[in-house]
Chains A and B, each alone.
Chain A
Amino acid sequence: MSKKTLLNSWHRSEGANMAAFGGYDMPLWYPSGAKQEHLSVINNAGIFDTSHMALLTVKGAHSRDLLQFCFTKDLDHCIGKKKTPLVEGRCAYGAFLNEKGEVLDDAIVYFIENETYALVVNANMGSIISAHLKRCSKSYPEVDIQDLTDKIGKIDVQGPNAALFLAPHLSDPESIFTHMPYFSFKGTFDSNSHRTGEVRFRDNTPILVSRTGYTGEFGFELFMDSDHLIHVWHTLVNEGRKKGLLCCGLAARDSLRTGAVLPLSHQDIGPWPFINHPWHHALPFDESQTGFTKSFMGDEALQQSRNSVYVYAFVGFDLRKISSDRSSHVFDSAGNDIGTVSTCVTDMAIDRHEEKIYSIASPDKPEGFRAKGLSCGFVRLTKPQEYGTILELKDGKRSIKVMITEDVRPYRTARKSVKEMLTL
């Protein structure tokens, strides 16, 4: 029996196509369709119920030490080009590994305030990561770990106009949106925090607004006490729809994140060493890019397994995809089977024109450019590859040619400043 978010009956009443994901009954798409939902996040904005994701808090004098040991990102060297320490109001992406250097789950760690951190992990992973942290916390006394998943609701508003859709509903949008870089946040969902007054919904609901998301586009993740979730959702959706805000399901989220080269946990990252992949920013590499700036659970295993598994992003030459189950294999130009396909979707906002990939949002797109979409995803290989290498993906029925690539969808907006997006 799947779990349900508090918005489940709303999704159903809207005619969403529902499916099980991470133990939850979630919308795949609404009647507008996954393609329009994907395009809406590139062109305008979309709103997602992401309450299925799990939220933990880690509190206490040794909370940072515990996270430094368990989380792959070095919290003392992670902000900006100068790699300054994580301070209150900033968050960081990384992963939790076991002793073998394998991924238990990926996460964003929020430094809420003095000795208090919040972690967002994937659906159904709250109890697993919380148990893992508790096991590790034996060396770090007085750390309190709570799983607040069922007490906190989460809504993502993503797309270039996300701030325009959010602003009318915030108590003081101007001050909230000032100095709010990518991977920073303001406010909190906890009414007993000194941050509580920072961000309130118009009806006084305290919320945490974070400049994050998992689409590669500009936008926000909103966290609030679950008692307020339905009201906040209705308000944002009912007002937003007047200007084209589209409710989006997991299919659009999947194609958007893949085009942005973001991994899906337990699919593109998982029980194999987290070392050869496109997400080196999630590891605490030193300047030499060989050693680490801190020691952490799994670090030695990672150093010893440098020649194991290689994960790469790929992009195809048209929109056709293959299935990404165990029947799909990857072949090099000599016809050798060199691995498997972990994700294969179509990013409907991009296409090739004279060898180059453009997005419908690219300012330099050719005149009359129309995107039919390109297949893209991730492969898990037994051998390292150069970017630009052409490989063949085959499932039982179809084969497609793809190129190993560093990036997929151009002109993404995730890192743009709020100021720039508000003056568009």
Chain B
Amino acid sequence: MKEINDLILPEEVLYADDHEWARMEDGIVTIGVSDYAQDQLGDIVYVELPDIDDVYEKGEEFGSIESVKAVSEMYMPVGGKVVEINSDLENSPELINQSPYDDGWIIKVLPDDENELDDLLEKDAYIAMLKGSE
């Protein structure tokens, strides 16, 4: 288990309370799960992805990731329409363990309301939350 200080937590993404991350680029939000989440879950063996064009509200469940330990739901950090899914995860779900912020991204979303990103946590606030839940 990684110590909090050993977690990879990039500055340029925002974090949700339930450990998804979101990165805004050119009007599209890329979503994944944090290094903390993948470390806690252990080996990811299966990812249930939504379909392209599915629309979800902020906080709604959009898929699940299955690790050796359990099946965990993923929730939308922002509401919007799914415009791309990471289909590499179908055959290589371990990309989430190996590269949670790059090759292991999960979906890309056209957000309904960019202001919803404001509710997410920056790195320091996320670390503080992790420390509080220890």
Contacts and interface: CB of A to CB of B under 8 A. Distances in A.
Contacts of B97: 33
A34 B2 CA distance: 15
Given A33-B97, A322-B71, A323-B71, A17 B42 contact: yes
Contacts of A92: none
A320 interface: yes
Most A CB contacts (10 A, CB to CB) among B40, B46, B66, B68 go to B68
Interface string A116-145: 000000000000000000000000000000
A151 B127 CA distance: 42
Interface string A24-40: 00001100011110000
A15 B70 CA distance: 20
A379 interface: no
Nearest to B61: A397
The size class of the interface chain A forms with chain B is: 20 to 34
A104 interface: no
A346 B97 CA distance: 18
Interface in B36-75: 39-40, 42-43, 45-46, 64, 66, 68-71, 73
Contacts of B1: 15-18
A321 interface: yes
B71 A397 contact: yes
Interface residues of B, number: 17
Contact of A319 (B2, B42, B46, B70): B46
A251 B66 contact: no
Contact of B71 (A17, A28, A33, A321): A321
Contact of A251 (B69, B71, B94): B69
Contact of B42 (A33, A321, A397): A33
Interface in B51-109: 64, 66, 68-71, 73, 94, 97
Contacts of A18: 1
Contacts of A321: 66, 71
Interface string A289-310: 0000000000000000000000
Contacts of B69: 28, 34, 251
A323 B43 CA distance: 16
A346 B68 contact: yes
Interface string A51-75: 0000000000000000000000000
B42 A251 contact: yes
B63 to A, nearest CB: 12
Contact of A397 (B43, B45, B68, B73): B73
16 contacts: A15-B1, A16-B1, A17-B1, A29-B42, A29-B68, A33-B68, A33-B97, A34-B68, A35-B43, A35-B68, A251-B68, A319-B66, A322-B71, A345-B68, A348-B68, A373-B45
Given A17-B40, A397-B73, A398-B64, 9 more contacts: A16-B1, A17-B39, A34-B43, A35-B43, A320-B66, A321-B71, A323-B71, A348-B68, A398-B71
- Identify the 10 closest CB pairs spanning chains A and B, nearest first: A34-B68, A33-B43, A35-B43, A17-B1, A251-B68, A34-B43, A34-B42, A29-B42, A319-B45, A319-B46
